Amino acid sequence: MGGGLSTFAHSGDYDYSSTASQARVIRHVYTNARKVCLSFDDMWSEYYTWKIARDFHRLNIPLTIFPIGRAVDNNNARPHQGYENMYARLRDMGHEFGCHLYTHRDIKEFSLQQLIDEELEPSLKVMRRALGANFKPIGIRPPYGVLTDALKELSVKYDIPLILWGLDSQDSICTSKCQDNCPDASVATDVIYSSLWDGDPDDAACVRSTCDERCADTIMKNYESYMRPGTIILHHGLKASHLAIRRIVAFLRDWNLQPVRLTELLTHG
């Protein structure tokens, strides 16, 4: 458990790459148990974060959520009416949280110290404010799935595993393509990804519902192609994934797969 910490204490003489090689990187849980994990990233929009988490909760399905630190900070400091203390309320529904770093930049060139100062510590600070001083993320999921030695070093130092995914629902890729079809794509992008927005994006920039429905088809196609026991499924806090909830639940029921939190899935590996 704490082995990485003692290695790190001698930071003058440790072998950087060998310490990085100790990091736990999880893309899939190898198990025969018919369990999978629904994970949701980013959560820029309080509106869709709440809708998705609440609707799954009503179906008794717990999620593993990786919010961006900035989104948590916005909710702590400037929540829209009705979304106050949203993260604590999501936790009380039974959802659990990992860390998706603070700014959602590509961290390819980041040093370990930069990752600590600009990404992880600011995220931990806002998540502890939202979820309590003892909060510890169940994992770190780097934006875009970028893995570097510095990130692995960070994972060992903080004793937090790196969590990727085995099935990309492609809700984000598909939503970006929907943006391109909007008459004013930049406005639409601001609306969809801004945590300062608390309404239905359809009301604002352009009518996207047909496109979002097609995204739900894309999501289900990816489920059919890549699902198996132990799969960690990647979604985002987007309308397309919200629209797909009923179909996701029906699919998992048909395939006799139970969605569980990642911490539970890991106990079956």
Q: What is the binding site for Zn ion (CB under 5 A)? A: 41-42, 143
Distance CA 139, CA 262 (A): 9
Provide the terminal-to-terminal Cα distance of the chain, rounded to the nearest Å. 17
* Residue 145 DSSP code: G
Where is 163: in which H helix or E strand?
Answer: strand 162-163
Q: Tell me the closest approach of the beta carbon of residue 145 to Zn ion, in angstroms.
A: 9
Among residues 71 and 130, whose Cβ is nearest to Zn ion?
Answer: 71
Among residues 143 and 229, whose Cβ is nearest to Zn ion?
Answer: 143
* Contact call for residues 74 and 108 (beta carbons, < 8 A): no
* Residue 202 DSSP code: G
Q: Tell me the closest approach of the beta carbon of residue 163 to Zn ion, in angstroms.
A: 12
Distance CA 29, CA 27 (A): 7
Among residues 139 and 143, whose Cβ is nearest to Zn ion?
Answer: 143
Q: Tell me the closest approach of the beta carbon of residue 109 to Zn ion, in angstroms.
A: 18
Q: Tell me the closest approach of the beta carbon of residue 114 to Zn ion, in angstroms.
A: 18
Among residues 143 and 230, whose Cβ is nearest to Zn ion?
Answer: 143
Task: State the SS3 of 79-125.
Answer: CCCCCCCHHHHHHHCCCEECECCCCCCCCCCCCHHHHHHHHHHHHHH
107 burial class (0-12, 13-18, 19+ CB within 10 angstroms)?
buried
Among residues 172 and 231, whose Cβ is nearest to Zn ion?
Answer: 172
Q: Tell me the closest approach of the beta carbon of residue 31 to Zn ion, in angstroms.
A: 26
Among residues 106 and 121, whose Cβ is nearest to Zn ion?
Answer: 106
Distance CA 101, CA 220 (A): 28
Q: Tell me the closest approach of the beta carbon of residue 103 to Zn ion, in angstroms.
A: 11
